Structure 1
């Protein structure tokens, strides 16, 4: 019985040592040759690989005594395609450490911590983690409702806390005595944090109605209010607009300089590292640390790594020291710890942006027509709070038209109404039925001589991927079942399938097999069984040939029947939802931050499929298929694309139209409303064009020019003469 008690799992806690006086050599966190596991390792358990074997890492304990600093400040960024979240969990005291004493927090045992707050001796109090993989129902501690439309409705549940209640800690239905007004009692800190994170205008909003970016700001602010010694941020800038990124980065820099708290953030390889970051750790495949140290040294190493893709003549000119760095890089590539996709992401800043000459599609018949849309709750206007020049008259609200074949990017700061605008198209917003919106030439409600368009017809003609769908999507479905819901009326109702739709699903599963199948390898592709070896029933000759043609395809995508949606990583789930939006070949494709959280390689594969379909450079099987056999060749001229993103690289060059929604009222350096066409020799990936799209009105006019009539007797002549267009 005594042995059983000793083996009982316990929460990680510090050893019961006596407090020690502060010493400048005592680090805050120290890991020496530690290997970590998600559960206790056994020889029989092959599904529990080691995490970061023989890891070494030290975070100094900063102490200021008079004018003397015990150690220079270190602001760390952990960069990698995967594993960075596991590493943050290790730093916060989670996962099993072998040997147990390899991980320690010496600074938390000092008199300084004892005098500040004895509760900070416990690691879970001293180290706070803010991650965003659970964006949605449980991300902020308040309910998001049971369905997509709930966030837009006026009815609120008891647990729909406001942002102010959330920050104060007033989120208990049965609070303890003295906590009726919340668990936070430092009013000065609360007001400073509200101002610093620009939350004052949304304090009265329910957390369930916040945008993706607003939710992130609120969660980081909540963590700061708990006064931790170390704050771990997992992709803090994902989902934030460029203006908000600069502001939040500045706030975090001020916190880091004061060590109130210390900061370590995890970033994707393609993310821009803030200028104030002093130290970098690069995480490779198989949970291995490739590089760690001062930023200048890491930058020098990455510049050398860029020579891997260059000619032998360029590489031979490198000095001996850099040649050794290059050899180590090639050894890591051979060992699989580093791959070409990760290497390309890490050295992308050394590659110039290639701009092709692309012209905007004039478009066909209108699929979306808005004539003065204005969404408001009481006196608060969420969308359409501006005046627009239409047919030489100044009118209120949003006037906008989208035609078949057009590709639009919707830009705007967090809280500007992008998701609300898209909800008017999908009819997730209750006010969609009363707004002047026409879809496919018809209103939502019946008109004299015209039937209304039903929600089920609308769903069958619109493909949609968004963080809200991600939050509500059922986790118990297999990957294939998740794609089949594109042909169903609801997530869990029976899909309407036939052989053609089955083949479409199999084709898209084959294309994305490298991203979704954990057992995918190039050698496995080469060894796939041939179609002739599969037993086929006795059928007519024509049917037999057809089945033989696709039998191997079904075998290759068998992984999709075995893996559940909930078993995938967050990035893989986003890919499945992207596939779901396209597999039914809808008339309108809506991608609302669909690539948020994806690695650059995953994102680029999605963008390639969006534009080119299955014409892939990387084969996912050895099935020989001609151009005529391809079931997806990219978006067609009959399909319209509408997408939102805060990252230029997530917008394909085929997007030639843009709309910029204005900043919420009271925002400094606010943006105004504009829409227009991109010039033929540029794209939103081009830094100057992206900067222009996000510039204040006076700067915007330096980049942009008015768009006038282009050609007579073409459909968009009506649009260009009717609205005020701006080319950038």
Structure 2
């Protein structure tokens, strides 16, 4: 077999009328496993998509010698085999379809009992994955065991937590028994225990003969990675061995300046209403298909308090948040008070949502992409998924000011689908802030942001908490991502409250 798995020589890559790479050269030899690092928008995800064959390559030379040899060996038995089928990929977004294979899932579907059943189970989904190996190393049993999915086999896909979904996607990619596995920030959304185990998982993957190329943080490079490529503005500016890269002195991140006076001015545009109790739950339980997801949860959040909501993947955090933000119909009939009002006493979902600025991984997955970034942010005034009405000049002006605060102004007129995942996530954060609500619910808001963006966002949020009476509920699997303004913690494990 050729010692070269893939070779790009002086290629130009275009997508959606944009030039992503010009004169790009990148080569992967057998036995090498690469980490792609760089600031958000530097081209890491685009390079993975280019390798996967998803973008147009113009000029230069492209070859996959190692993969093409395997294709030639199977010409008689599988004339439709291509190098692309020998590549597994786990991206930043996923696209599951319902049982009738007519539509993709929609936001809020997991909390609606009837619609949530219109989905394959974990076992059913993985059974659809085809392996192209003659003697597959990654069997169903080995994959399920390695990714700790055994207890989830009969669970519908839509009911999985964000971290459980990430493990499922890695499992699906492995079941193809790929020669090359592409991972886009695979640790995103995983709890501390699963992240710690991921190093062993990746070691097992590379030991099986699968080469790995992964986009990741420079602070989370697994031990089985052999080489590092640093990207900047669509260029590979440096390559090195992992040992040589880690031996360098860390670079201090320079943060963009924060206009504190402008932030104060934006917060003063509206007066947030005063409440005694933002949220109160008394012995609240939620059950799906016989499984108790939340078990006798009691919790009170008063105005001006800042809470961290923590716990492992599948602990019930997203379900708890769905009871607060109006997305879960099981909130009716339970002892839940929101904004000084008993849930189910005549208020509408929109009465609740207008008091909340909300961001979650699910919102990112299902948010429509046809608007510009400015229109996405303006939609926060109306609590709609995208701008579904004519833009209002006054609200658009405020949205643009928020874009300046979050260093997003240059993307105002750019279609949401054309910007990097990090800019999309920051736009959704601005959308949550734009109406200055009394309650912010941020579920893993820093996913996909580089270190500088994370630090800047935390600075903005801490400043908001210093100069206003905003209430905050903040979810993260990384302790360093939790803002300094957070002073209280609710910890969940297996749907139960754990005393901390």
The answer, yes or no, to whether TM exceeds 0.5 is: yes
- Choose which of 456, 474, 478 in structure 2 pairs with 1:647: 478
Distance 2:383 2:72 in 1: 61
- Please say if 1:103 is aligned against 2:63: yes
- Choose which of 382, 405, 424 in structure 1 pairs with 2:323: 424
The structural deviation recorded for 1:212 is 1.1
The structural deviation recorded for 1:428 is 0.8
- Choose which of 285, 290, 295 in structure 2 pairs with 1:379: 290
- Choose which of 38, 51, 67 in structure 2 pairs with 1:80: 38
1:12 alignment partner in structure 2: none
> Match of 1:78, SS?
strand
Distance 1:653 1:140 in 2: 45
Preserved contact between residue 416 and residue 424 of structure 2 (Cα < 8 Å)? yes
Preserved contact between residue 79 and residue 267 of structure 1 (Cα < 8 Å)? yes
Decide whether aligned partners of structure 1 residues 129 and 187 sit closer, same or farther in structure 2, where only a CA change above 3 A counts. Answer: closer
> Match of 2:113, SS?
coil
2:369 alignment partner in structure 1: 475
1:316-335 to 2 correspondences below 5 Å:
none
1:650-689 to 2 correspondences below 5 Å:
650-663=481-494, 673-675=497-499
Higher-Rg structure is 1
Preserved contact between residue 137 and residue 143 of structure 1 (Cα < 8 Å)? no
Distance 1:105 1:429 in 2: 51
Preserved contact between residue 33 and residue 102 of structure 1 (Cα < 8 Å)? yes
Count of aligned residue pairs for this structure pair: 478
> Match of 1:232, SS?
strand
Distance 2:63 2:98 in 1: 29
1:350-369 to 2 correspondences below 5 Å:
365-369=276-280
> Match of 1:661, SS?
strand
Preserved contact between residue 440 and residue 473 of structure 2 (Cα < 8 Å)? yes
2:381 alignment partner in structure 1: 487
- Please say if 1:465 is aligned against 2:350: no
Distance 1:489 1:243 in 2: 35
Decide whether aligned partners of structure 1 residues 658 and 496 sit closer, same or farther in structure 2, where only a CA change above 3 A counts. Answer: farther
The structural deviation recorded for 1:34 is 2.6
2:243 alignment partner in structure 1: 296
Preserved contact between residue 308 and residue 489 of structure 2 (Cα < 8 Å)? yes
Distance 1:48 1:490 in 2: 29
Distance 1:454 1:573 in 2: 29
1:152 alignment partner in structure 2: 111
> Match of 1:74, SS?
coil
* Greater relative CO (CA pairs within 8 A, separation 6+): 2
Output one character per residue of 1:107-162: Cα deviation in whole Å (capped at 9) or x when no partner: 64269955998679621122222212x24666999788765332122214785111
Decide whether aligned partners of structure 1 residues 425 and 159 sit closer, same or farther in structure 2, where only a CA change above 3 A counts. Answer: closer
- Choose which of 492, 517, 540 in structure 1 pairs with 2:410: 517
The structural deviation recorded for 1:219 is 1.0
Decide whether aligned partners of structure 1 residues 635 and 375 sit closer, same or farther in structure 2, where only a CA change above 3 A counts. Answer: farther
1:195 alignment partner in structure 2: 145
2:262 alignment partner in structure 1: none
Output one character per residue of 1:182-217: Cα deviation in whole Å (capped at 9) or x when no partner: x99989811111111111111111112211111111
Decide whether aligned partners of structure 1 residues 188 and 288 sit closer, same or farther in structure 2, where only a CA change above 3 A counts. Answer: closer
> Match of 1:517, SS?
helix
Preserved contact between residue 229 and residue 236 of structure 2 (Cα < 8 Å)? yes
Preserved contact between residue 75 and residue 81 of structure 2 (Cα < 8 Å)? no
> Match of 2:225, SS?
coil
> Match of 2:371, SS?
coil
The structural deviation recorded for 1:366 is 2.2
2:3 alignment partner in structure 1: 27
- Choose which of 586, 590, 594 in structure 1 pairs with 2:437: 586
- Where does the alignment leave 5 or more consecutive residues of structure 1 unmatched? 1-21, 40-44, 61-72, 171-178, 310-338, 343-362, 385-396, 447-451, 519-559, 613-632, 665-671, 676-725
Output one character per residue of 1:497-528: Cα deviation in whole Å (capped at 9) or x when no partner: 795x565434313323x33415xxxxxxxxxx
Preserved contact between residue 406 and residue 640 of structure 1 (Cα < 8 Å)? yes
1:264 alignment partner in structure 2: 213
Decide whether aligned partners of structure 1 residues 210 and 566 sit closer, same or farther in structure 2, where only a CA change above 3 A counts. Answer: same
- Choose which of 174, 188, 209 in structure 1 pairs with 2:159: 209
Distance 1:596 1:140 in 2: 29
The structural deviation recorded for 1:228 is 1.2
Decide whether aligned partners of structure 1 residues 341 and 457 sit closer, same or farther in structure 2, where only a CA change above 3 A counts. Answer: closer
Decide whether aligned partners of structure 1 residues 250 and 418 sit closer, same or farther in structure 2, where only a CA change above 3 A counts. Answer: same
> Match of 1:382, SS?
strand
Decide whether aligned partners of structure 1 residues 370 and 35 sit closer, same or farther in structure 2, where only a CA change above 3 A counts. Answer: same
Preserved contact between residue 367 and residue 440 of structure 1 (Cα < 8 Å)? yes
1:167 alignment partner in structure 2: 126
Decide whether aligned partners of structure 1 residues 497 and 205 sit closer, same or farther in structure 2, where only a CA change above 3 A counts. Answer: same
Distance 1:293 1:517 in 2: 33
The structural deviation recorded for 1:495 is 8.4
Distance 2:53 2:392 in 1: 49
1:620-631 to 2 correspondences below 5 Å:
none
Q: Give TM-score scaled by structure 1 length.
A: 0.59
Higher strand share: 2
Q: Give TM-score scaled by structure 2 length.
A: 0.84
The structural deviation recorded for 1:38 is 2.0
Distance 2:424 2:197 in 1: 30
The structural deviation recorded for 1:280 is 1.5
2:179 alignment partner in structure 1: 229
1:57 alignment partner in structure 2: 27
Preserved contact between residue 407 and residue 642 of structure 1 (Cα < 8 Å)? yes
Preserved contact between residue 603 and residue 650 of structure 1 (Cα < 8 Å)? yes
The structural deviation recorded for 1:103 is 3.2
Decide whether aligned partners of structure 1 residues 493 and 118 sit closer, same or farther in structure 2, where only a CA change above 3 A counts. Answer: closer
Q: Tell which deviates more after alignment, 94-103 or 110-119.
A: 110-119
Distance 1:208 1:144 in 2: 13
